[in-house]
Amino acid sequence: MSMKVDPAKLSLSNFIAGETNDPLSAPPSFTNWMRAGAFAAELYEPELLATADARTTISYNGKRRSVINLCSYNYLGLANRPEVIAAAHEALKTHGLGACGSPMLSGMTDLHRELERRVAKFLGREDAMLFNSGFGGALGTISGLLRKTDVAILDNRSHLSLRDGALLARCRTEKFEHNDAASLEAALQRHRGRRQLVIVEGIYSMDGDFGNLKELIEVAESHGARVFVDEAHSMLACGDHGRGAAEMFGVEERIPLIYGTFSKAFGALGGFVAGCKETIQYLRFYAHPYVYSCALPPVVVAAILKALEIGTSETDLRKQLWENADYFHKQLRELGIDTGRSTTYIMPIVIGDRERMYRLGHELRRRGLWVAPVDYPAVPQSKNSRRHAERRFENQGGRLPVTLQGI
């Protein structure tokens, strides 16, 4: 079957329904679309041939290409720190490669317990628990706490892990307009008398803007609702002490449960949730991704422990990150490039047109800039963009405007 429609006119949202009697087969129209749009598909899943550093090497058009890495989560450069790597090496010798068991059964080590204690102390909470996946941790926390009679009220730009958590809980789900206190007020009003959880993020991963924490928390509190903040992209990179957007905006004491990941500023993988001892103990039994999957590898836990130590003691890391972000914003503004609502180190270059977005993606890679295409439904149809994240230790001086001019 040939592709009769311009592949640039379609998106992933067009291939959700099954087309054959075989539930294990991909829709043929999707396969044809991928083949017809190979020019665009080539920008996804490029092979990284070196570390996720600010300057790295990828495979592009079958060749090695040196690029400036603008799409990594390694905000503070901790994934490449010699001390972090050395800590991982030492744990590899003492604890081996994998945990080889669920935390509930045989996968919990002394390193895991130490990291739980350190995270809880860092965030000023009674206890913390670890997940082997940031996505799974968010999903497991939400689905482990909410029940069918509850209401989850999510910002309409919330991450899919949070939405899937509410879906798995089978509770009533509402959305409110992004960062809009009046819209949240209306959603809460519609469900008066029921248990309600407002779910927001510290920094939104597609838009690069902060959650409107103070105002949204005030609205939630006026209705007796609790607030859950996903600090995935803000933890260790925001606030005077690195405790995320909640610290930055002075609302830590008003948020009973803090969720974050180790795959962003920590430079590793996994997730964590911190709160009162009773709630964490409950989640150890009811957060399915924790109970029914293998614990984080000890080698990773040891690396995270060292990353936490460095990230909390070397405050200049955050300072440099924000200086680079300010510089980048300034350069993009002077070039007339639309970065949407971004006020942080995550900056979308808003294109709007799908075909142009992919064409620019190739042109930027040819010029040595590695940025990632973000298409609908991850972003609204009109916001097709190329997302990049500024890094701590590579201020590129005058190269950025020279590279982007004429694109």
Kindly report, residue by residue over 323-367, the tens digit of the pLDDT. Answer: 999 999 999 999 898 888 999 999 988 887 888 888 888 899 999
Q: What DSSP designation does 210 have?
A: B
How high does pLDDT run on average in the chain?
91
What does residue 127 show for φ and ψ, rounded to 5 degrees? Answer: -155, 165
pLDDT at 6: 76
Give CA–CA dist 261/272, Å, rounded: 6
| Tens digits of residue pLDDT in 182-229 | 999 999 999 999 999 999 999 999 999 999 999 999 999 999 999 999
pLDDT at 38: 72
pLDDT at 2: 53
Q: Please give the single-letter amino acid code of residue 329.
A: H
Q: What DSSP designation does 235 have?
A: T
Contact 219, 147 (CB under 8 A): no
Residue 371: burial class (beta carbons within 10 Å; 0-12, 13-18, 19+): buried
Give CA–CA dist 203/210, Å, rounded: 4
Q: What is the set of active-site residues?
A: 205, 233, 264
pTM: 0.91
Complete domains list, the chain, with CATH = 38-69+316-404 (3.90.1150.10), 81-313 (3.40.640.10)
| Tens digits of residue pLDDT in 385-406 | 555 565 543 434 444 555 555 5
